[in-house]
Amino acid sequence: MRAITYSRFGSADVLELTEQPDPHIGPDTLVVRVKAASVNPVDWKIRQGYLEGLIDVQLPAIPGWDVAGVVEQVGLDTPEFQVGDEVYGYVRKDTVQGGTFAELVAAPVRTLARKPASLSFEEAAAVPLAGLTAYEAIQRAGVKDGQTVLVHAAAGGVGAFAVQIAKALGARVIGTASEANQEFLRGLGAEPVTYGDGLADRVRALAPDGVDVVLDFVGGGTVAASAGNLADGGTITSIADPTARTEHGGHYVWVRPSVAGLDALTALFDAGKLSVEIAQVFDLADAADAHRANESGHTRGKVVVRV
């Protein structure tokens, strides 16, 4: 099969299109014919070698954790699916090696759910990791009807899903973004606010009594800077800064594969409460450009690779 691989850590230049053996089927694994995959920041952070010691990588590695495709082969004990089923998933394995930037991927059955019928393969591939992260962060924070939620990086892959999920729960959402993305955020139902110097004051002007939940999808000093915006009893949840938990008594979330979570997202798509924003679609052979696009740090929604 054709796949994108890298044999050493480095810039996007290390990514190349190569011929690889087809993946092996396991007893609780399915082989999926990949129609589309998507890029997450973790992909290029791993590729750069930034996450050595935290995530095990076996080189040469095929990058990519998000997939949408069709079941090509079923394992000995995977009664949930049949050959030909359309699926999507966050194909997180213990080791980074056989990823989704390939024509075929071996996916543990615990990572896959049925693709939402209303989404194309390209749209579905944009969902799993970012959508599950948004969903799990919102669940952990306990967002409820009537609360005010501040979402940092609201126009990004995770943020755009989080804004919509929080709105669907009945929350008022304030979202940080640059000017270029503020109209987009209004379209999702959020009140946009520009990040950078003076952000806390701008949030205070919108929510003088404070916000109930901060969702930090940026890191850096964002958690500390937002602490002063919390209402009494408010909490901070971060996916990028563990001090949200250790110093601020809130939560740090590292997304886990979850069939139930994917099914919950599917229900929101089917109910018309969730939509997918795609910044750009690249062919598999141009995966390096897809990585570069996401690495810019300013894409709106998701970068997708069609296979």
Give the footprint of ligand NAP on this chain (CB under 6 A): 40-42, 130, 133, 152-153, 155-159, 176-178, 180-181, 195, 217-219, 239-240, 253-255, 294, 297-300
Residue 153 beta carbon to ligand NAP: minimum distance, rounded to whole angstroms: 4
| Nearest distance from C-beta of residue 175 to ligand NAP, angstroms | 9
Residue closer to ligand NAP by CB (options 64, 159) is 159
Please identify, using beta-carbon distances, which residue of 30 and 239 lies nearer to ligand NAP.
Answer: 239
- How far is Cα of residue 2 from the mean position of the Cα atoms in its chain? 25
> Measured from the CB atom, is 78 or 222 closer to ligand NAP?
222
Query: Shortest gap between Cβ of 218 and ligand NAP (angstroms)?
Result: 5
Looking at beta carbons only, is 74 or 292 nearer to ligand NAP?
292
- Residue closer to ligand NAP, measured from CB, 78 or 302: 302
Backbone phi, psi, residue 212, to 5°: -80, -35
Range list of β-strands (E), 93-144: 95-98, 104-108, 112-114
CA torsion sign for 156, 160, 161, 165 is: positive
Report CA dihedral (160, 166, 169, 172) to the nearest 10 degrees: -120
Q: How far is the CB of 134 from ligand NAP (least distance, A)?
A: 9
Shortest Cβ distance from residue 158 to ligand NAP (Å)?
A: 4
Q: Which is nearer to ligand NAP, 23 or 248 (CB)?
A: 248
Residue least distant from ligand NAP (Cβ): 156
- Both tokens of 131, joined, read 């959508």
DSSP H or E segment with residue 170 = none
The least CB distance from residue 283 to ligand NAP, in Å, is 20
- Strands (E) across 101-166 are located at 104-108, 112-114, 148-152
